[in-house]
């Protein structure tokens, strides 16, 4: 009976580890990879702040995002684009004051560095993401995955030992 319980526990641990891996991959794809792409592939230029606004989501609860209309030139072509100052992340935030503070960092009519992908200069970012909290949710599946992996291995070796003991006993009985 204990072997059956341990076997199903191993299956449960394997399922939980799979879920943790999927969540970690999703977190990497959504939060780390875009920032890494900006750092490695985007080119730097200068952008002029034309306008800025606090954009409010239509959803409840109200969420906010600091948006900036920038103008920049790449290969003698002038581009205008609305961007946030949080990398490629265009999500809204519940903290209105934090978004208003972001608006105050930039002045209309001033030039600031911006980055664009060479293969698609129509998209740009005003600033690299500076919110390390985007990585924090990945800690939960990472820690859970490590703990479950430990118990999975412990269970696996217990099952292997039980199977080896059973085989040894059956061989001894056959002698």
Task: Say which residues have a Cβ less than 8 Å from residue 34's Cβ, sequence separation at least 6.
Answer: 87, 88, 89, 129
* Residue spans of the chain under pLDDT 50: none
Exposed/middle/buried for residue 76 (C-beta within 10 Å: 0-12, 13-18, 19+): exposed
Domain ranges of the chain: 1-41+132-175, 43-124
Hey, which residues does 73 pair with through a beta bridge?
A: 78
Q: What pLDDT, on the 0 to 100 scale, is given for residue 130? A: 60
Tell me the C-alpha distance between 32 and 28, whole Å: 5
Distance, CA of 90 to CA of 132 (rounded, Å): 15
- The partner residues of 66 in beta bridges, in order of sequence, read 54
Q: Check if the beta carbon of residue 37 is closer than 8 Å to that of residue 155.
A: no
State the pTM of this model. Answer: 0.66
The pLDDT score that the predictor gives to residue 123 is 87
């Amino acid at each position: 009976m204990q072997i059956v319980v341990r076997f199903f526990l191993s299956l449960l641990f394997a399922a939980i580890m799979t879920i943790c891996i999927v969540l970690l991959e999703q977190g990497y794809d959504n939060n780390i990879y875009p920032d890494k792409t900006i750092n490695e592939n985007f080119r730097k230029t200068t952008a002029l702040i034309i306008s800025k606004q606090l954009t409010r989501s239509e959803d409840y609860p109200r969420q906010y995002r600091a948006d900036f209309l920038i103008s920049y030139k790449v290969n003698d072509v002038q581009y205008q684009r609305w961007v946030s100052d949080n990398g490629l992340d265009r999500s809204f935030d519940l903290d209105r004051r934090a978004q208003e503070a972001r608006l105050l960092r930039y002045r209309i009519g001033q030039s600031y560095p911006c980055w664009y992908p060479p293969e698609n200069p129509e998209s740009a970012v005003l600033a690299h993401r500076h919110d390390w909290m985007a990585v924090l949710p990945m800690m939960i599946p990472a820690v859970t995955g490590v703990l479950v992996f430990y118990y999975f291995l412990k269970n696996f070796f217990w099952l292997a030992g039980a199977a080896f003991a059973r085989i040894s006993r059956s061989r001894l009985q056959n002698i």
